[in-house]
Every structure is written in structure tokens, then in C-alpha cells.
Structure 1
Amino acid sequence: MLAAILRVLASPAARRLSRAAQLVAAIAFGAAAASQIDLAVNGMFLGSILALGAIGITLIYGVLRFANIAQGDMMTFGAYLAFFLLVSVLPEHAGLGPFTFGFPLLLAIPISMAGVAALAVGMEILVFRRLRLRRANLVTIEIASLGLAIAVRGVVQMIWDTPVRYYPHEGRDHYSLPAGISIAPNHLFVAGAALLLAIGLHLLLTRTKSGKAMRATSDNPDLARASGIDTDRVLLWTWAIGGLLAGAAGVLLVIFNATSQLKPTIGFQLLVPLFAAVVVGGIGNPYGAFLGAMLIGISMEVSTAWALPTYKPAIAFLVMVLVLLFRPHGLLGARD
């Protein structure tokens, strides 16, 4: 019976039906987004933030073959580190053109990125490398990742307590565009910063020796090691890049929020959308993660026209399931 079902699913008619269903789903998604163009645009901005976190997850998975559950809380740590710099270290808030934040934030972002990168490298050296040397299985490594996520969140709560915090900000007007589109200047900054980071990562992976070593290690670690690539160093680079992206995503997420609100669970709440973006795009493919994040971000924002915002994570999970029904390997995932 099972063999008969598999033969039917593998038949040309079934494949044509699958492609037709994908086309119908794409048209339906496009129509829904077009009817809520303002929300769809906001979804693209949210997707650009999700893309940074999702790319970090997929890079680490591509090299180490495990999903870093701590990525969301690493984003939180980066956001709070920037908050500390803004209120305690850097000069007082000063306006920066149309944005709600001042020039000190431009200094806080790279410092926070570096801080989260150092945290990520420390996690690799002190925890994950030792687990690999002891030949720990995947379940043990994932539990360790979950434990680190809880530990990072606990440190954030211990240092900054649990009340809601706010970045220093000033009120600014929105840009009004045709078709009822209203764009906040902060959102343009978020999209621009995310795009620059994505382009920089692309150039790193395709034009530099370190990037090519990362890709080689991801494709075949044993062959990369045999060809003279220092895979331990590649792993450190991978964690550092994942940390840099997480730090940037955390700060940009707070900027994206209209009130610049900051709380200890801000990154953890995005964990489901982040993993959904990775799976939708194709596990281990950074370009797929970017595409998946855009799809998830738009879906989450457009859904608020018909559902409560609290259902956004459920919408992300639903989109992931629907995509996997038609493309089990994700949009750009390679077949095993």
C-alpha cells in the first residue's frame, strides 16, 4: 500500500499537480500581500532582521550540523549591550537626521556586534569544542545549546533586571508614499544596515580565502582537513560571524520597534520565526535563509490584518509547514 502511494506521488501527474499547487499558493500569497501593501512592506523590514539571525543559524549548522538554539538570546545580549553603551558609556543622545536615535547608536552597533561575537567564540571554545572532543551526540549538544540560551538570558536579567527598558529616542514623522504606504525612517535604516551586512557576508563567502575555507568545510569537513584547511580556525570564524550577525539583529530589532522597547525575552520570542526562516529557505543555505526570512517576515506582518499579533509565531510555523509540503528541502535547499 505504501509503495503504491509513493509511486503515485512520484508520478509525472503528481509532480505537475504539485507545481500547480505551488503556483496557486504563490498567487494567493501575492494577492494577500498586495491587499495589505503597507503591512507587506513592514514585513520586508522585519524579514531583513530575521535574515541576519537566520543566516547565523544556518552558517553554524552548515559547518557543525547542529541548530544553535541560543541564537535568539545572543540577539538579546547584543541589544542590551548596546543599551548599556548608550546610557552609561557613550555621549548623550543627539539627533541624527530623520531617525529617532542619535549618532551614539552608530558606535554602539559595531561594539555590540563585537561583544556578541566574543560571546559566541567563547561558547565554542568552552562548551561545544569540548563536547565534540568527547564525541557527544547531537541531543547532548542541542541540550547544551538550550542551556546556554537560558544562561545568557539569566545573565541579562541579573544585570539589567526584568523591567522593560527603552533606547534613548525622539519622536519622528513617517514618510507617506502612494498606495497608503507609511514608512518610518528607522525602518529604512534597518533595511539598509541589514542589506549592507548581507552583501558583506556574500563577498566574504565568495571572495576571501576564509570564506572559501568555510564553504569547503561545510561541504566536506574531512576533505577540507585533508587538503590543509585549519578547520578549528574555520569553526571559530563561523561562530564569530554568527555572533556578529546576532548582535546586529538584536540592536536593529529594538530600532524597528516604534517605542524602542527592550525586554529580556525579545530575542527568544523570535526563535520560532528564525528557525522557520532557516527551514523554509533550505537548511545550511545562507541565501535560502535570507529568502525564507523575507517570506516569513511578510507573512507574519500581513497576518495581523486578520489575526491578533500574538499569533505571529504560529503563522511563521504554518508557512514553514506549507512550504515543506511542496518543497521538502526548502526553497533553495539541496537534496540529500
Structure 2
Amino acid sequence: MNPQFLMDGLIAGSIIGLGAVGVTLTYSILRFSNFAHGELLSWGAYIALAVSSALGYLATDLTSPIGPFSFGWSLPLGMLLAIMLTGLLALAVDALLFSSFRRRGSAVIIMVMASFGASLALRSLLEFIFTSSPAYFTNALQIAMKLGGGLRATPDQLLMLALAAIAVIVVHLLMTRTDIGRAMRAVSENPALASIAGIDVRRVIRTAWFLGAALACVAGVMSGLLIQIRPYLGHDLLLPLFAAAILGGIGSVPGAMLAGLIIGLCEALAVQLVGAEWRAAVAFVILIAVLLARPRGLFGRVA
């Protein structure tokens, strides 16, 4: 068996894990499965592409590759602005759609169905603006470096792994060492009691939306840089994202990341053992197995 599946699985798993962190944060605080979350990955990638292209047009020096990487400074700058804009997009969707349901005390199933509608609308709008043709951040080719043990990776791939690790550490510290993080954990435990204790629940909800969208943007940019950008980018990752969020335990940031890596490795292993056509089924099998054997996940709280 080719050990390269380990590196392929870690790369795919880091993208899934970052997206799953956003899923687990929004679910633990808002109490519903947001099926529009995958579209935030796509929007983040396309916004970063648009900003990066505009910066490259205005200043061609920004497109010159940085060291061994395939992209110039226009992409990091574009990603930073895309993070802000994707977060604002998530806040706008919440303000226009979900907040009205919360005020009326709507049932969870209504929120879930509304998220399906939001997902379709966001994806269709992407296709209308950018068309359905795949796009790329760069056309530069990279040679994979030997890492030892039969493993290879390009500089871009190694950078993305480091970026995913840094993002998870920052979010974990935010959740455990800051006032807003403690407030988010309190609202996750009991929104009514947190409100009585003086916590601004609406501010916590806005923070959860923005943070989840920011992580989705980073995951979308990573996927777009390593593979390609297309309107169905986030939709195709939606099942692995939810599988990782449930496997890791709802509300657990390290658990979501670890579960994402597990699912990525299982998908890469499945490609080698049974073929690429079965890759999409791996997340579904893991999801069903977790729901049957350990519904609270690896690091979830006991009900």
C-alpha cells in the first residue's frame, strides 16, 4: 500500500476539520443544522479569488510567487478581506432569514428547511455571478518534495496544513481564554440561564456566525488553492463536514478538527482500497456508525 494516502488524507482532513469547526460552533449555539454552511466555503473562495485578481490587476508585483509557493501576496491579502466579507455575508443571512424565525420561536425543522433554501439561493447566485466553470488561484505547477517514508507534498500543501493547525489553536484559545469564548460556552450550555446571568446572547450569536463563516472561508480558500474553485465546492464537502462535527462531539473545536483528519484519512484509504468512486460514501458510513455507537461523539458531553 502506498503510504502517500496518509499525506493526502491529512490535507483533505484539514479542510474538512476547519469547516467542521464552524458547523459545530453554530450548531451548539443556534441549535439547528445549518445546511447553508457549505456555501460559505464556496463564497469565501470566490471572494478571495475576486479580490486577489483585482489586487493583481492593480499591482502586478503582488502576483509574483512568494518563495517556494505558487501564489503572490495578492492571495493572502485577498483571503484576509474575504474572511471579513464572508463573515458579513453570514451575518446578513442571519439578519434577513434566521433571526426572524428565532424571534417567533419557530421549530427547529423550519430553521433547517430555511437553511436548505438559503443554500440553494447562495449557490445559484454564485453560478450567476461567476458561472459554473472551474476557476483557479494560480496556474503555476509545483513539484512535490520528498518528506521521507514515501511521503510527498508540495510547499502549498505543507503551508495549508500549518494554516489549519494555527487556525484551530487560535479558535481553541479564543473559546477557552477570552470573555466572549466563555460567553459562547455558557450560551451553548443554557441560553436562557446565560441571558439571565447578563450575557448578551445576540452578540454571542453574531460572533458564532462570523467565526464559523471565517473558518469556512479559510477552508474554501485552502480547497480552491489545492484543487479548484467551483460553485459546488462547499456542497460536495457538506456531508463530511457534518460527519466530522458529530464524530468530534458537538461544541468541541479540537474534536471537530481531529474528526476531520480521521475522515480525511479514511477517505484517502478508501480510494486506495476500493476506488475513488466510493470516496463520497465514507463520510456517510462514519456518520451512521457514530450515530449508532456513540451519538455524543469523541469529545461530546454526556446528555
TM-score, normalized by length of structure 2? 0.95
Q: Which residue of 2 aligns with 1:288?
A: 255
Secondary structure in structure 2 of the residue aligned to 1:162 = coil
* Higher Cα Rg, which structure: 1
CA distance in 1, matches of 2:249, 2:169: 19
CA distance in 2, matches of 1:183, 1:89: 28
Matched, 1:322 2:298: no
Q: Which residue of 1 aligns with 2:236?
A: 269
CA distance in 2, matches of 1:328, 1:225: 28
Q: Which residue of 2 aligns with 1:74?
A: 40
Q: Which residue of 2 aligns with 1:177?
A: 147
Choose which of 116, 134, 143 in structure 1 pairs with 2:113.
Answer: 143
CA distance in 2, matches of 1:208, 1:283: 20
Q: Output aligned runs, 1:1-336, within 5 Å.
A: 35-90=1-56, 91-92=59-60, 93-257=63-227, 261-336=228-303
CA distance in 2, matches of 1:268, 1:203: 29
CA distance in 2, matches of 1:71, 1:109: 18
CA distance in 2, matches of 1:89, 1:156: 21
Secondary structure in structure 1 of the residue aligned to 2:164 = helix
Q: Letter of the aligned partner of 1:48 in structure 2? A: S
CA distance in 1, matches of 2:173, 2:230: 34
Instruction: Give structure 1 stretches of 5+ with no counterpart.
Output: 1-34
Deviates more, 1:321-330 or 1:54-63: 321-330
Relative contact order (C-alpha < 8 Å, sep 6+): which is higher?
A: 2
Equivalenced residue count is 299
CA distance in 1, matches of 2:284, 2:302: 22
CA distance in 2, matches of 1:224, 1:41: 43
Is contact 1:205–1:212 with CA below 8 Å preserved after alignment? yes
CA deviation vs aligned residue, 1:109-157 (integer Å, no higher than 9, x gap): 1111111100111112121111111121111101111111111111111
Residue 284 of structure 1, CA deviation: 2.8
CA deviation vs aligned residue, 1:229-275 (integer Å, no higher than 9, x gap): 01011100110101111111100111222xxx221101100011111
CA distance in 1, matches of 2:253, 2:2: 28
Is contact 2:171–2:253 with CA below 8 Å preserved after alignment? no
Root mean square deviation, CA, Å: 1.4
Residue 36 of structure 1, CA deviation: 4.1
CA distance in 1, matches of 2:265, 2:85: 30
CA distance in 1, matches of 2:78, 2:166: 17
CA distance in 1, matches of 2:119, 2:24: 17
TM-score, normalized by length of structure 1? 0.86
CA distance in 2, matches of 1:255, 1:164: 12
Q: Which residue of 2 aligns with 1:22?
A: none
CA deviation vs aligned residue, 1:177-210 (integer Å, no higher than 9, x gap): 2221111111111111111111111111111111
CA distance in 1, matches of 2:65, 2:177: 37
Q: Letter of the aligned partner of 1:46 in structure 2? A: A
Percentage identity across aligned positions? 35
Instruction: Give structure 2 stretches of 5+ with no counterpart.
Output: none
Secondary structure in structure 1 of the residue aligned to 2:34 = coil
